[in-house]
A and B are shown apart, each in its own frame.
Chain A
């Protein structure tokens, strides 16, 4: 069959197949992802509040200008910053720690590694329910343990005190998300050739030195990847806030991150146009953060290679 057709005919056939094969997926993504994205951008140029539908009008970029002077938005940004500080830096450091811990040889290593999949597989809503049970102010086991140990003498109202609620949220998110990052760390650790460690320890390098001088530099690419992934997850966190705070982002707005504020603006205050501009701003922030990590760690990578 191939022998008689000319090369260009085969190529043309290949091209036709390539386009045919990519079309269904492309159409689905275009219709339900790209079109809504454009729609959202157009929406962000409108003043459109479902509480006052008669006042709908085009306002251009005014919604974006409004964002810059909106204290609630700026406060939620700061809150997201704090949340990310803990979940991204703390989370990735913790993930690398877990990865290194589970990369050593010991009996039961395979089982311990598989257990890293448990938090990953627990749906975010269930994760929220789980920690709400544990940190319940009246009957939660966290209080029982702390009181038995004599650390506190009265039940702590974990989910009624603003800072503590944010703390519980951070704890819950780290539990859910970092073990998967640890698995990725292990995958990358295994690609570091073992004999460079052997050589180093013959040269008298201690395990601490080997970690800083060899393991970490070899993990640079992976750590960049983890920072990007975790930053995206952290900025987009929603489900556990919803469940832990009963859909309020409280107490007193303490867990209202930008993403949650965009949700409240759109679906509680029904300020659709403004909510759309806020969501687009979040999208831009996510992309900027990812680009920041790539530039920062990507450039250093080149320097070390030189």
Chain B
């Protein structure tokens, strides 16, 4: 935590050990995923031969082409994008309204409500699986994108509200008072003052919501069939093909992971800031 303290010695064993440990850690964090990428661009035969053969001339994107040409797989991709975006928009819209209300008006029961938001995080999805399935079936929403989006919204909203309340709490109310006196409505204040001021927190929360919706497997597996199936459900099915087609499984894995991975890395500054300001208190 602090080789700022104390003078540097000539050959600092601790320093060398530290750098080695960091290098190992970086390899540990990154290589498993990169390995899957490597698998996705070589024919299965290369990976089954012993020793494995990684001749650059064998490099191929054939499996990507194959999957992008598979209408079922492409539909699951579109589904994932639609569900991810729609869930995020709904969560941020309803979530920031509710969070603003809890943060600013402190109505009776608002603290209990906030506590409840945290408690629902403890509820495993399996508890709700059958009831949700029955509910969706009765409303004709089984295997529909609408049903999935609504379900995700309900699961992700508590976390969104929890995070947004902590960001809103850190914004001084004086600015809002000024805007109110200038004739701004509550909604106007929220839209023009509060949300812009909580920018990084807002962005981080939206990314959390998107990644959670995109990555879910369990609920999607239970609430969808061939029509509204999402990428994780489709990709999970590839594990059955392991004996025959490594490359397809690896390729589906890369396609499922890449969008959220890219999003996380592009938005890393907001995410890290969001964690620092919001998530950990104490």
Contact = CB atoms under 8 A, between A and B. Distances in A.
Interface of A: 1-2, 14-15, 17-19, 21-22, 24-26, 28-29, 31-33, 35-37, 39-40, 43, 98, 100-106, 108, 112-126, 128-134, 136, 138-139, 141, 144, 175, 179, 183-184, 187-190, 192, 194, 197-198, 201, 207, 210-211, 215, 221-222, 224-225, 232, 235-236, 238-239, 242-244, 246, 259, 262-263, 266-267, 272, 275-276, 279-280, 282-283, 286-287, 290
Contacts of A28: 94, 150, 153-154, 157
16 contacts: A15-B105, A22-B98, A22-B102, A25-B94, A36-B132, A101-B25, A102-B22, A126-B253, A130-B253, A132-B239, A139-B47, A198-B2, A221-B281, A236-B126, A267-B222, A276-B127
Contacts of A141: 35, 52
Interface stretch (B60-68, B195-203, B255-263): B255-263
Given A101-B22, A115-B30, A282-B127, A126 B257 contact: yes
B232 A123 contact: yes
B100 interface: yes
Given A101-B25, A129-B238, A215-B1, A117 B271 contact: yes
B55 interface: no
The 4 closest A-B pairs by CB, nearest first: A221-B282, A32-B154, A36-B131, A18-B105
Interface in B143-178: 150-151, 153-155, 157-158, 161
B154 A29 contact: yes
Question: What does DSSP make chain B's interface, helix, strand, loop or mixed?
Answer: helix
Contacts of A179: 29
Interface in B23-42: 25-26, 28-30, 32-33, 35-36, 39
B115 interface: no
A21 B98 contact: yes
Choose among B95, B113, B127, B222 the residue with the greatest number of A CB atoms under 10 Å from its CB: B127
A33 B135 CA distance: 11
Given A117-B268, A282-B124, 6 more contacts: A32-B154, A128-B236, A144-B51, A187-B275, A188-B280, A262-B124
Choose among A21, A43, A210, A221 the residue with the greatest number of B CB atoms under 10 Å from its CB: A21
A29 B157 contact: yes
